[in-house]
Structure 1
Amino acid sequence: MRQIILDTETTGLDVSKDHRVVEIGCVEIIERRKTGRTFHSYLNPERATDAGALAVTGLSDEFLADKPKFRDVANEFLAFVDGAELIIHNAAFDIGFLNGELARLNRGETPLDQRCSVLDTLAMAREKYPGQKNSLDALCKRLNVESAHRTLHGALLDANLLLDVYLAMTAGQGEILFAGNESESNQSAALDLGQVAPMQLRLRRADAAETHAHQGRLAAIDKASKGKCVWIALERQSG
């Protein structure tokens, strides 16, 4: 699955008061691994930044004055995110601002949340840690994600931090391969199964050691997900 961790910085908190996006940062992952592809741009918002926002981002009007406008990078941005699942902390905020920018293009662009599926890590964190602070800073501290270098908010910086937070919150989901089997898995994935005759396929049953390792892995997943491991739940029902 192709996923994009996305963050924005803005001139203020209220898109209905004509506040604008001043920075977009995106990091691409596929199957929970960084691909090395990113999208990052500072933007000239064509208006002044509120003092509160300036204190958070450090992006002054003077710094942004010679940066591209959203319309200058819109096509590149949309090409980068189209069809991916967007992972955003407090998604309604960023999606609202980006949809506002798309609407200002006056070219009938489809809203971002209709072009992509969206996963809100704030909603995920509130469900996982009810009654606790679930800001990005709080989650970094709780999940031991190093964030001491985050003296100011930055879209690409925060997207990379959110990536680590997301992977920590979802540890065990999608990482069920045993250690040492990655190369074997990659080799299997490279096979053209359409050219393999059915009689060439052999059924190999797990031995006792592999079964024991499998059960240990499921137990770890169940502990990390606080009893939400699907395989163990099915075993309990069948047992």
Structure 2
Amino acid sequence: MTRKIFLDTETTGLEHQLGDRIIEVACVEMRGRRLTGRHFHRYINPQRDIEAGAQAVHGLTSEFLADKPLFADIADELCDFIEGAELIIHNASFDVGFLNHEFSLLDREPVKELCAEIIDTLRMARDLRPGKKNSLDALCNEFGVDNSGRQLHGALLDAELLAEVYLAMTRGQDSLMMELELPESGTFGAAGQDRPPMQVLRASAEELADHARVLQEIDKESKGKCLWAALEQST
């Protein structure tokens, strides 16, 4: 089963050709259309100033990033996390361009050599919704994904939202696969007869702990507006 990795970055500006750098990178893992709870998230010291326009978008400051690791310090971990996976990114040319720039500074191979495939959800959205606005916020609104905690861009929260949007955009593909896999008429007897018992797989303690940690990070990124965390507290 191919791993899917949803990736997002934040940067000092829009032009890596002019020296802009990555200051945050986040990835979340999916297998079989389910998030596994595994994720990779790092803030990075870019060793340069952040443009005012970029800071207004993500809210990250040079002071906050001053004690964070350099990209060179997290490159091995990042490569290990995404290696061999399908990489799913919204406006992939932007993030891949920045990642390739960072890798080139370290004499490392480009992203396409690490991953099985790179999928651009912006291109997918434009094919599905030609002529419409296809930003991540617009897609969240279109497909009913709760993005109320997204006052500022944040790589981890945006990667989580992108995973939900991707599932919504590709739901029809699942329906087609289900139809192809349905047994022929008569395979089962009357309703309820000869059907295998339903298996209920309960989360392990480790999986529950990972889930709680992800919710805490999302809640922190959204300044206490994580709906999932609020729902869990109310139950």
TM-score (norm 2): 0.75
What is the count of residue pairs matched by the alignment? Answer: 184
Provide Cα deviations, 1:196-234, integer angstroms capped at 9, x if missing partner.
Answer: xxxxxxxx8532889xxxxxxxxxxxxxxxxxxxxxxxx
Partner of 1:110: 109
What is the one-letter code of the residue matched to 2:75?
A: A
Helix, strand or coil at the partner of 1:93? helix
CA contact 2:145–2:164 (8 Å) conserved in 1:
yes
Helix, strand or coil at the partner of 2:67? coil
Partner of 2:80: 79
**Structure 2 CA distance, aligned partners of 1:208 and 1:83?**
38
Helix, strand or coil at the partner of 1:148? coil
Q: CA RMSD in A?
A: 1.9
Helix, strand or coil at the partner of 1:59? coil
**Structure 2 CA distance, aligned partners of 1:64 and 1:166?**
30
Residue 66 of structure 1 pairs with residue 67 of structure 2: yes
Residue 125 of structure 1 pairs with residue 104 of structure 2: no
What is the one-letter code of the residue matched to 1:112?
A: V
**Structure 2 CA distance, aligned partners of 1:127 and 1:12?**
28
Residue 174 of structure 1 pairs with residue 174 of structure 2: yes
Partner of 2:147: 147
Seen in structure 2, the aligned counterparts of structure 1 residues 79 and 208 have a Cα distance that, compared at 3 Å, is closer
Seen in structure 2, the aligned counterparts of structure 1 residues 129 and 209 have a Cα distance that, compared at 3 Å, is farther
**Structure 1 CA distance, aligned partners of 2:19 and 2:174?**
41
Partner of 1:39: 40
Partner of 2:215: none
**Structure 1 CA distance, aligned partners of 2:23 and 2:51?**
12
Runs of 4+ residues deviating >6 angstroms: none
**Structure 2 CA distance, aligned partners of 1:39 and 1:55?**
24
**Structure 2 CA distance, aligned partners of 1:23 and 1:134?**
23
Question: Larger Cα Rg: Structure 1 or Structure 2?
Answer: 1
The Cα of 1:110 is off from its aligned counterpart by: 1.3
Gaps of 5+ in 1: 179-203, 211-239
**Structure 2 CA distance, aligned partners of 1:76 and 1:105?**
14
The Cα of 1:173 is off from its aligned counterpart by: 2.0
Identity %: 55
